[in-house]
Amino acid sequence: MMDDTITTLLRKVASGKVSVEDARTALEDASLTEDQMQSAIDHGVFNLAESGTVVSASLAPSGGSNLIMIFFVWGIFWSCYWVFSMIYGLAKGWDQQQLAYHLAMMLVTLCLMGMAYLKFVLPDTIIVKHGMNKFVPEHQKDWREYKW
């Protein structure tokens, strides 16, 4: 992961160990020219990462927004509604078409919740793995060949 000075300072501010004013005074004299900023961006984008490194998005989506929380509460409510109505229908002897409809609606609701989770909650993290050329030696025979 990234362990540069600014990231460490931001993590300390987020955890409350360092106040915002102290962080501002620490970064007061820090400055980047436009060329340095562009080369830093190009370095992260265009250079190949070493095998096994973990690459994170610089702007990870936030799963703590109120809209996502409301969406998950909505999804849990409707998933429970469709499941319990399907169980009720099983007990009351509904036909298969109605039961299949309730099952499909429950699965669609769960799929929507899964897509929202992948898009807005799960951080964008990639583990870089490079393929290598494989050399497979000839396997030694461990049996005898009998001739007739």
Looking at this protein, which amino acid is placed at residue 148?
W
So what's the pLDDT on residue 1? 47
- Joined tokens for residue 50: 């070493």
So what's the pLDDT on residue 73? 95
For residue 48, the SS3 value is coil
Per-residue pLDDT of the chain (148 residues; tens, 9 = 90+): 456 677 787 788 888 888 888 888 877 777 767 777 677 666 665 666 676 666 665 555 566 688 888 999 999 999 999 999 999 999 999 999 999 999 999 999 999 999 988 888 776 666 666 666 666 667 777 777 777 7
Query: By C-alpha distance, which of 121, 39, 40 is closest to 75?
Result: 121
Q: At what angle do helices 96-116 and 66-92 cross, to 10 degrees?
A: 160
So what's the pLDDT on residue 10? 77
pTM of the model: 0.47
- Joined tokens for residue 101: 């409809």
- On whether the CB atoms of residues 32 and 40 are closer than 8 A, the answer is yes
Hey, where are the domains in the chain? 1-27, 66-121
